[in-house]
Amino acid sequence: MKAMNTTLTTQGKEGKVIAQEGSEQVGELNFLLDNGVVVITHTRAFDGHEGKGVAKMLVNATIDYARENGLKLRPICSYAYTYMMRHPEHAALLDKRTGEGVACGL
């Protein structure tokens, strides 16, 4: 099942992407900016919203943010890392250190 009427807001200076359905926050992706690299540290769909595609939308919004700003990506969050490995069409955006230290939630 896909998330319905989900609004994504990228807050680059705060290092996060927020997913909302109406006024309810349903997910969040956190990242750090490190010398031109977006380091994805955590991706989460909130309770009751798992399995609706929220995390996928958050990662895709972050991919768009990196592409639009000429940045590379280094997912250390295991979800984002697995997503990127399954979507080779985004390989050109990956930082050379991708795969080092993948350990979301530790």
pLDDT digits (tens, 9 = 90+) for 15-50: 999 999 999 999 999 999 999 999 999 999 999 999
Nearest to 102 by CA among 87, 82, 88, 86: 82
Taking 70 as the threshold, does the pLDDT of residue 9 lie above it? Answer: yes
Confidence of residue 5 (pLDDT cuts 50, 70, 90): confident
Buried b (16+ CB within 10 A) or exposed e, 1-11: eebeebebebe
Looking at the structure, give the CATH architecture of the domain made up of residues 4-93.
3-Layer(aba) Sandwich (3.40)
Q: pLDDT band at residue 3, thresholds of 50, 70 and 90?
A: very low
What is the domain partition of the chain in residue ranges? 4-93
Q: Specify which residues 45 forms β-bridges with.
A: 27
Q: Model-level pTM?
A: 0.89
